[in-house]
């Protein structure tokens, strides 16, 4: 009978895509460039949302418990929204990293 291998978990660090889309506002391109310089850039996601039919951009961290905390309007002004259960919130796309592969726990 073959010996059983003990499962163990690995935390895979994702590869960050260095491309910053150019079809986004200049202020957001600058914000992404600043994030890329941070030591833990892999912890950030920049997404486009439609909230109540209006476009917003969100900078978030998948490991944070805060949702829509760093939210900006299309001009780059921090948005202060009062959301309720009837507010329609739709994530349109992930802007950066382009080919986001969220780090996963896997057994080897």
Answer whether residue 1 is part of any domain: no
Exposed/middle/buried for residue 31 (C-beta within 10 Å: 0-12, 13-18, 19+): buried
* pTM of the predicted protein model: 0.69
Mean pLDDT of 88-98: 87
Answer whether residue 27 is part of any domain: yes
Residue 91 in 3-state DSSP? strand
Question: How high is the pLDDT of residue 4?
Answer: 53
Answer whether residue 2 is part of any domain: no
Mean pLDDT of 94-103: 64
Q: Domain containing 98: what range?
A: 15-102
To the nearest whole percent, how much of the chain has pLDDT over 70? 69
Task: Locate 9 and state its tokens.
Answer: 């978990």
CA separation for the pair 12, 54 (Å, rounded): 36
Answer whether residue 8 is part of any domain: no
**With 90 as the cut, is the pLDDT of residue 13 above it?**
no
CA separation for the pair 101, 97 (Å, rounded): 9
Number of separate domains in the chain: 1
Answer whether residue 58 is part of any domain: yes
Answer whether residue 44 is part of any domain: yes
Q: How far is CA 6 from the centre of its chain?
A: 34
CB 16 within 8 A of CB 94: no
pLDDT digits (tens, 9 = 90+) for 28-67: 999 999 998 888 888 889 999 999 999 999 999 878 888 8
């Amino acid at each position: 009978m073959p010996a059983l291998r003990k499962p163990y978990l690995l935390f895979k660090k994702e590869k960050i895509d260095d491309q910053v889309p150019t079809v986004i506002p200049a202020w957001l391109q600058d914000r992404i460039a600043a994030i890329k310089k941070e030591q833990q850039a892999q912890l950030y996601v920049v997404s486009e949302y439609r909230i109540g039919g209006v476009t917003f951009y969100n900078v978030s961290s998948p490991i944070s418990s805060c949702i829509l905390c760093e939210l900006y309007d299309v001009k780059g002004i921090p948005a202060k929204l009062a959301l309720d259960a009837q507010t329609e919130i739709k994530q349109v796309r992930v802007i950066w990293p382009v080919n986001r592969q969220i780090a996963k726990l896997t057994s080897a």
